[in-house]
Amino acid sequence: MEASEMKSVRLVVMMMMMMFLCVSAKSKLVPCLFIFGDSLADNGNNNRLNTSAKANYKPYGIDFLDSRPTGRFTNGRTTVDIIAQLLGFNKFIPAYATLNSSFNLLSGANYASGGSGILRQTGTHMGQNICLKKQIKHHQIMVSRISDLLGSKRSQELLNKCLYWVEMGNNDYINNYFVPWFYSSGNLYTPQQFALILIQKYRHHVMELYNYGARMIALVGLGQIGCTPNAIWTYGTSNGSTCVSFMDDAVQLFNERLVTLVDELNNAFVDTKYIYINSYEIGSSIDPIALGFKVWNVGCCGGLENGQCKPLEIPCENRREYVFWDSFHPTEAYNFITASKIYKAYNLSYSYPMDISDLVHSFEQINIA
């Protein structure tokens, strides 16, 4: 990373810290936020499922409120938690599984589920999860409840002004395509064919969101899955690379098609704005050493072969110096850096054709009591 770019990163982080100090005093930039995703965004939806993909036990959440595990697969806040705070939400968006009459349904919901993917079968070797299709079914129920509360016209006005965060596909590779002993996809399809299958199904689900009123949609690209401690331990690296190249090459085929999909949808629907969050580029641009991280190839807890932290395991003390919390998921410190680049991108290669801040400011705000 060049010195000028590093200076920009530090400036953005400082600005974000200042924004956090006054976030409770400002109004929300969007009335509601709906989150679709996997374990990078899950905040408790998997807690009651029959699955090994859970994070509702210590040491998960050690740096969260009251040091309590909530189901987040990290030591503190997720990237989308931080973005929500930057948008002015003074309470975390609730997990759909926890919603009841005591919550303000008009602020949105988090449908994300650890281990889930675009494909229904993805992640099922670990047990139950809520795939993207089911997450949208849950959103349909939410839309119906909001309509009952506000009436059809006002509910549509509200939903049109909400932000929709969709972060899916990583597990379709990590917990499907690259698990040949349980899934056939890696043997049946080339990486190019598999990326096309995923995008075709993804497009269908994104259009469902449009039909339910979504007009501001952030589609999050896939990250460097070959750079996780688990991937490196499982497959090793070659040719001087620090990551597993064949895994990263495969997800880039998906990302290329996702950019094309964003262009297609923006051209087709003048009343809707789609953006592509380039997680891969964001990750590859971060120089962990320059940002104060000292460990980036081992998780703060959890054995490499296990992937997740073990119940009641004592994690590393210097968590701000670790990129990874366990062998798959980043620490809150790293999530903060990622969120800074997503929310206000100083490099448009990180977010196309605009960043989250510009996206939400491009729509007039409405005030729902």
DSSP string covering 30-73? SS-EEEEESTTT-SSTTTTSSBS----STTTTTTSGGG---S-S
Q: How far is CA 212 from CA 142, 156, 265, 270, in A?
A: 10, 8, 16, 16
Per-residue model confidence as pLDDT tens digits over 109-132: 999 999 999 999 999 999 999 999
pTM of the complete model:
0.92
- Say yes or no to pLDDT of 22 above 70: no
pLDDT, tens digit, 9 for 90 and up, residues 199-237: 999 999 999 999 999 999 999 999 999 999 999 999 988
172, 248, 326, 355: the active-site residue = 326
Task: Map tokens 């399809």 to a residue.
Answer: 189
User: Which of 4 and 356 is assigned the larger pLDDT?
Assistant: 356
CA distance 342 to 365: 21
Q: Residue 326 catalytic?
A: yes
Decide: 227 and 323 in contact? Cβ < 8 Å: no
What type of residue is 342? Answer: I
Catalytic, 39? Answer yes
Q: Roughly how many angstroms between the first and final C-alpha of the chain, as a whole number?
A: 46
For residue 346, what pLDDT is reported?
A: 80
- Name the maximum alpha-carbon separation found in the chain: 60
Among 39, 185, 279, 340, the active-site one is 39
How confident is the model at residue 24, as a pLDDT?
43
By the 8 A CB rule, do 170 and 38 touch?
yes
Q: Is 329 a catalytic residue?
A: yes
Residue 9, pLDDT > 50, answer no
- 239 pLDDT band, cuts 50/70/90, is confident
Question: pLDDT tens for residues 266-321?
Answer: 999 999 999 999 999 999 999 999 999 999 999 999 866 668 999 999 999 999 99
Cβ atoms within 10 Å of 84's Cβ, excluding its own: 27
In this prediction, residue 12 carries a pLDDT of 47
Q: How many CA atoms lie within 13 A of 26 on its CB side?
A: 15
Question: 132-150 and 152-160 helices cross at what angle (nearest 10)?
Answer: 130
pLDDT score for 25: 41
pLDDT value at residue 266: 97
Residue-range domains of the chain with CATH: 3-361 (3.40.50)
Q: Looking at 113, 327, 329, 351, which residue is catalytic?
A: 329
Quote the percentage of the chain above a pLDDT of 90: 83
Alpha carbon distance 110, 58 (integer Å):
22
Report d(CA 181, CA 176) in Å as an integer: 10
Compute the 3-state secondary structure of the chain and give helix, strand, coil in percent, each to the nearest 5.
45, 10, 45
